[in-house]
Amino acid sequence: MLPEDFKNKYNRLLGDEYEDFLLSFDAPAQKAYRVNPLKPHPVVNDTEDHGNLPYGKWGHFGAVNGHSVDHVTGVVYSQEPSAQFVGEVVRPNPGERVLDLAAAPGGKSTHLAAFMGQEGLLWSNEIFLNRAKILSENIERMGIKNAIVSSHTPAELSSRLPLFFDKILLDAPCSGEGMFRKDPSATDYWHEHYPAENATRQREILGEAVKMLRPGGQIVYSTCTFAPEEDEQIINWLMAEYPEFSLVSIEKPNSANISDARPEWIDELFVNGTNEHSATTTKDEMKKAARLWPHKLEGEGHFVAKLVKANDDYDDVSVVKPLKNKPLDKQQRELLFSFFEETLVTFDQKANEYVLFGDHLYMAPFGTPDISSMKILRLGLELGLFKKKRFEPAHALALALNPDEVNQSYEMNHEEWAQFVHGDVIQTRQDLDKGWVLMTANGNGAGWGRYVNGQIKNFFPKGLRFVVKK
CATH of the domain at 37: 3.40.50.150
Residue 12 lies in a domain: yes
Residue 318 lies in a domain: no
Of all residues in the chain, what percent carry a pLDDT higher than 90? 86
Average pLDDT of the chain is 93
Confirm whether residue 104 is marked as ligand binding.
yes
Answer for the pair 447, 439: CB distance below 8 angstroms, yes or no. Answer: yes
Report how far residue 188's alpha carbon sits from residue 310's, in angstroms, rounded to the nearest whole number. Answer: 41
Confidence of residue 46 (pLDDT cuts 50, 70, 90): confident
- SS3 assignment for 231-256: CHHHHHHHHHHCCCEEEECCCCCHHH
Chain segment 120-134, per-residue pLDDT in tens: 999 999 999 999 999
Residue 107 lies in a domain: yes
Helices (H), 327-366: 330-343
Give all strands of the β-sheet with 390-393 in edge-to-edge order: 353-357, 360-364, 381-387, 390-393
Q: What are phi and psi of 344, to 5 degrees?
A: -110, 140
Confirm whether residue 107 is marked as ligand binding.
yes
Check whether 209 has a pLDDT greater than 70. yes
Report how far residue 66's alpha carbon sits from residue 158's, in angstroms, rounded to the nearest whole number. Answer: 36
Q: What is the mean pLDDT of residues 185-189?
A: 91
Residue 440 lies in a domain: no
Confirm whether residue 126 is marked as ligand binding.
yes
Chain segment 266-277, per-residue pLDDT in tens: 987 777 776 555
Report how far residue 438's alpha carbon sits from residue 102's, in angstroms, rounded to the nearest whole number. Answer: 34
Query: Which is higher by pLDDT, 288 or 317?
Result: 288
Chain segment 251-266, per-residue pLDDT in tens: 998 889 999 999 999 9
Report angle CA 66, 70, 461 to the nearest 5 degrees: 65
Residue 272 lies in a domain: yes
Report how far residue 90's alpha carbon sits from residue 169's, in angstroms, rounded to the nearest whole number. Answer: 7
Check whether 32 has a pLDDT greater than 90. yes
At 300 the three-state DSSP class reads: coil
In angstroms, what CA-CA distances link 62 with 43, 44, 298? 15, 11, 12
Query: Which is higher by pLDDT, 431 or 143?
Result: 143
pLDDT at 318: 60
Residue 331 lies in a domain: no
Q: What is the mean pLDDT of residues 327-355?
A: 87
pLDDT at 282: 47
Query: Which is higher by pLDDT, 249 or 280?
Result: 249
Chain segment 348-391, per-residue pLDDT in tens: 666 568 999 999 999 999 999 999 999 999 999 999 999 988 99
Confidence of residue 283 (pLDDT cuts 50, 70, 90): low
* Structural domain range at position 219: 4-309
Confidence of residue 196 (pLDDT cuts 50, 70, 90): very high
In angstroms, what CA-CA distances link 129 with 40, 103, 139, 168, 334? 31, 12, 15, 21, 35
Least confident of 146-160, 187-201, 341-355: 341-355
Q: What is the mean pLDDT of residues 41-55?
A: 89
Residue 330 lies in a domain: no
DSSP 3-state percent helix, strand, coil across the chain (nearest 5): 35, 25, 40
Give me the DSSP letters along 86-131.
HHHHH-PPTT-EEEETT-TT-HHHHHHHHHHTT-SEEEEE-SSHHH
Q: What are phi and psi of 241, to 5 degrees?
A: -75, -35
The separation between CA 454 and the C-alpha centre of its own chain, rounded to angstroms, equals: 41
Report how far residue 23's alpha carbon sits from residue 334's, in angstroms, rounded to the nearest whole number. Answer: 66
Confirm whether residue 106 is marked as ligand binding.
yes
Q: How many domains does the chain contain in total?
A: 1
Give me the DSSP letters along 23-55.
HGGGSPPPPEEEE-TTSS----SSS----B-SS
For the whole model, what pTM was predicted?
0.95
Residue 386 lies in a domain: no
| Kind plus residue range of the DSSP H or E element containing 195 | helix 194-212
pLDDT at 44: 86
Q: What is the mean pLDDT of residues 79-93?
A: 98
pLDDT at 349: 64
Confidence of residue 317 (pLDDT cuts 50, 70, 90): low
Confirm whether residue 103 is marked as ligand binding.
yes
**What amino acid positions are annotated as catalytic residues?**
224
How many Å from the N-terminal Cα to the C-terminal Cα in the chain? 39
Confidence of residue 281 (pLDDT cuts 50, 70, 90): very low
